[in-house]
Structure 1
Amino acid sequence: MNEFIRNAAQVVPSARQLAWQELEFYAFIHFGINTFTNQEWGGGDEDPGLFNPTAFDAVQWVEACKSAGMNGLILTCKHHDGFCLWPSAYTEHSVKNSPWRNGNGDMVKEVVDACRKGGLQFGVYLSPWDRHDGRYGTSEYNDYFKAQLRELLTDYGDIFCVWFDGACGEGPNGLKQIYDWDGYYEVIRELQPGAVISVCGPDVRWCGNEAGHCRESEWSVVPAELQDCEKIQEQSQHADDGEFAKRVNTRDQNLGSREAVRGANKLIWYPAEVNTSIRPGWFYHTSEDDKVKSLEELLDVYYKSVGGNSTFLLNLPPDTRGLIHENDVKRLSELGQVLRSTFGCNLTSDAHATATETLNETHNVSRIFDGNQHTFWCPKEGTEHAAIDIELNSEHTFDTIVLQEHIQSGQRIEKLRIEYQQEGSWVLLCEYTIIGYKRICRFPEVMARSIRLTIEQSRWCPTLSAFEVYRSTHN
């Protein structure tokens, strides 16, 4: 078992997975023909003439995302109804047959241009399920789908993510489509080698629900069998029932612990993404204008996802004007203000630390304060337990601590506790299992100068690239 755990400690992310993880927080934009029919899932028989967002403004979308602190945007270029937001050469069911921009528009291009100008990464969602195309359910459909992938991945510059869900229904001929996943991946790797393939893909794992529920211990190193697309499809939504987004499947709470990975034939780096919508639905509905998630709800998901070794994909559904609604924009701005003010002043900027053990000078414990994710502290190989004492420059009031492992070296830490010194005694502040890319520790406000991090269990040897202390402005 020791050799197995040592090997598990050395499973590391690819360059594309690391770049994706560092984005942390980004937007899903569900927009299309459903916006104009007041549906979540279209039937594929909608008239393209319905699509006419007369005030569409991609810059407004980007500015709303940036106000919340987001770093990317994924657009539903084609949903299950098959309607394309770009003038695809392979179908007439697209914006080229709509009144928008007199049939000469390309919404994907306008969103890409706004993202580039605004400094956001751009990603595409392309539904494998197509309720419009008559080839669905045949091998010819896979050729059609790959041709559309080529359009999106060739004509619009760098793509950070291709997002696939597992929705799969019956075609008009009564046949269920057998998706050529390997063929899809081949096209993506050829044209956009830096893009992660998410959910029904080998790079990013779905958290398992659309309710914003996060695991207490979200491991990035998991058994390779979790990549099985057919299993992902089985757990995906098969009906537009309105309840799926609220459902939380808790049976898979423990995916990467020693118990979970013991006996696995192969372990892989397969990190999690948490996705949920700012409203009950994924597409815009006027009836939900007063049902935007509260600031407290959004902060809770942010701290548990970004702060729990996941990323946070928050859906924002533009309305029939082609704008993100004022209520959503206001909430996004509030969220961004809290995050910027909370993480604006790191109290360890001139702190001092001592560790029970250090590998060498290159990995000195002072590395945890240097703001560089590529430098880190670690003890000698094989040392699984260690402690670090932090001395702030003076007594400070704080309620948030941010920890980061050097995940380029793997995910190692399995159990930790943080204490603070009060009147000469060490008092427990909080306890956690994993850290991974980032752990945001939240606790009732305390005042202290001395803090101790004790790593009680780790794989082979722990690493730590960041230890930051903050006082939040919103409780």
Structure 2
Amino acid sequence: MKNKTITTFFTLCCLFISAFTFAQKAPKQLVELQQDFIDLRFGMFIHYNIPTYMEDDWPDPDASPEIFNPDSLDCEQWAKAAKSANMTYGCLTTKHHSGFCIWDTKTTDYSVMSSPLHKDVVKEYVNAFRKEGLKVMLYFSILDIHHKIRPGLITPEKVQMIKNQLTELLTNYGKIDALIIDGWDAPWSRISYDDVPFEELYRLIKSIQPNCLVMDLNAAKYPKDALFYTDIKSYEQNAGQHIAKDENILPALSCYPIQQNWFWKPWFPQQPVKDAEKLVKENIIPLNEAHCNFILNVAPNRHGKIDANALAALKKIGELWKNKGPMTKLKGNYDAPIISHNLAKFKPSYSSWSNDMNIMDFANDDDFSSSWQSHRDIKNPWWEVDLGQEKAFNMISITENNSNITSYTIEYFLNNKWHKLLDGNNNGKVKIHRFKRVYGNKVKITITGAKNTPSIAEFGVYNERD
């Protein structure tokens, strides 16, 4: 009980300080923040953490803090290098998957303050980048193998630890323009947005710094056609995630390392980095034209500096490419991010006749690669989900893999009868409907028009907070 009281007091103190610090800056509308972000065009990702001092990007999660020992940490060099490439911001890995914190945290001893450096790297970084007039962003991993924040081991105490760490990062270092979050509801991390509740963390972040964008690197799971659990659609090129340049209407981010790996390796000084001209012509320019900000990772070495070959490439980029300022305005014809728990996920479902094995359960199995598919002989197919008990909800999403459905009716079941909720005629792959809150224990979609045999990859029912 004593520990819980201390934790609560700590969080309240941080929130009070933060509220005082940022009260004078009025919150912007999300669409303004999204436009501001893509207008930045080009930035520096900085993977620097305990993996720098081992040969794996996912090192031993119990490696001693003693190995984190740069003899000439130079964040000012990083900032000047970013400036030389005409970058506008930086983003530093405050905590990667192995759980080592490179700031002065009160949540764990597994941090830079237990290392020979004994210096707050986040503070050094933000000060150096701001000195050069650059914006500041932070990377944070939810997956934390050292502290056993991993599948099957999530507890309320560990969720509170995450909240406390984010509170520190958003309270003690001034204005943070964005958080890039990783290791959360990705197929490889297997920590869901229910295990570590997305909406709780999202609202915590916004309560401390309302103008801080939340970007989750979740493109491995969620479709490119809507903002699922992120303010910015984010793509990791090394993982085979690429934006559809001709189709994209969403504010987006694409990340890519200038070296072979994200974290520094002993052979990097002798290994050629990616070609500056190609990075400009094949990444910065075409991505910017597609409402996409490009972030190029540059990994500092074990001394705490950027290698000469990477410095030279950055300077060359700056000679080849000039930042022309704000990009084309976002059209704004996309929906606000989905941030709430999906009430329909894994609940019992029913449907009209299905096509072979593609039965009703595939429409709410939390897997966008599988689908319920109607049998071709059904004229007006239907699908429904049983929420188990009466639930409040005010949003529904229907995700297809093929944009076949053209019109439909949605109903909800309450007091032993069906009530019509809405008629839809959205032709997109992801159809999102927000409406005044209703209550029901079942939800049903009846498809009244389709270009071909209809199917549903995922059906979502949500109760967004007011």
Q: Which TM-score tier does this pair reach, normalised by the shorter chain? A: 0.5 to 0.7
Which of the residues 279, 286, 307 maps onto 1:304?
286
**Equivalent residues in 2 for 1:135-284, closer than 5 Å:** 136=150, 137-139=153-155, 140-166=157-183, 178-200=195-217, 223-224=225-226, 226-228=227-229, 246-248=238-240, 253=244, 270-284=250-264
Counterpart of 2:60 in 1: which secondary structure? coil
Amino acid at match of 1:330: A
How far, CA to CA, are the matches of 2:296 and 2:178 in structure 1?
15
How far, CA to CA, are the matches of 2:50 and 2:241 in structure 1?
30
How far, CA to CA, are the matches of 2:224 and 2:32 in structure 1?
18
1:13 Cα deviation from its structure 2 partner: 5.8
Q: Say yes or no: does 1:294 pair with 2:275.
A: yes
Aligned residues: 296
Structure 2 vs 1, CA of residues 339 and 129 (structure 1 numbering), >3 Å: closer, same or farther? same
How far, CA to CA, are the matches of 2:272 and 2:185 in structure 1?
29
1:80-101 deviations in Å (ceiling 9; x for gaps) = 010000121010000111001x
Counterpart of 1:320 in 2: which secondary structure? coil
Uncovered stretches (5+) of structure 1, i.e. residues with no partner: 1-11, 210-220, 237-243, 258-268, 345-370, 374-403, 412-475
**Equivalent residues in 2 for 1:405-444, closer than 5 Å:** 405-407=328-330
How far, CA to CA, are the matches of 1:325 and 1:82 in structure 2?
25
Structure 2 vs 1, CA of residues 168 and 288 (structure 1 numbering), >3 Å: closer, same or farther? farther
Match of 1:466 in 2: none
Structure 2 vs 1, CA of residues 175 and 77 (structure 1 numbering), >3 Å: closer, same or farther? closer
> What's the RMSD between the two structures over aligned residues?
3.3
How far, CA to CA, are the matches of 2:68 and 2:54 in structure 1?
9
User: What's the TM-score, normalizing by structure 1?
Assistant: 0.56
Match of 1:116 in 2: 130
Amino acid at match of 1:122: V
**Equivalent residues in 2 for 1:17-32, closer than 5 Å:** 17-32=34-49
1:25-51 deviations in Å (ceiling 9; x for gaps) = 111100011101122112310100000
Contact 2:245 2:286 in 1 (8 A): no
Which of the residues 123, 143, 148 maps onto 1:129?
143
Percent identity (aligned): 30
Amino acid at match of 1:275: C
How far, CA to CA, are the matches of 2:245 and 2:82 in structure 1?
32
Match of 2:317 in 1: 335
Amino acid at match of 2:288: V
1:149 Cα deviation from its structure 2 partner: 0.1
1:346-402 deviations in Å (ceiling 9; x for gaps) = xxxxxxxxxxxxxxxxxxxxxxxxx9x6xxxxxxxxxxxxxxxxxxxxxxxxxxxxx
Which of the residues 98, 105, 119 maps onto 2:115?
98
How far, CA to CA, are the matches of 1:169 and 1:17 in structure 2?
23
**Equivalent residues in 2 for 1:343-358, closer than 5 Å:** none
How far, CA to CA, are the matches of 2:60 and 2:136 in structure 1?
27
Counterpart of 2:102 in 1: which secondary structure? coil
Contact 1:284 1:319 in 2 (8 A): yes
1:432-468 deviations in Å (ceiling 9; x for gaps) = xxxxxxxxxxxxxxxxxxxxxxxxxxxxxxxxxxxxx
Counterpart of 2:321 in 1: which secondary structure? helix
Amino acid at match of 2:100: F
Match of 1:40 in 2: 57
1:178-223 deviations in Å (ceiling 9; x for gaps) = 22211111111011111111135xxxx85x69xxxxxxxxxxx975
How far, CA to CA, are the matches of 1:175 and 1:154 in structure 2?
26
1:125-156 deviations in Å (ceiling 9; x for gaps) = 11000011146522221110010000000000
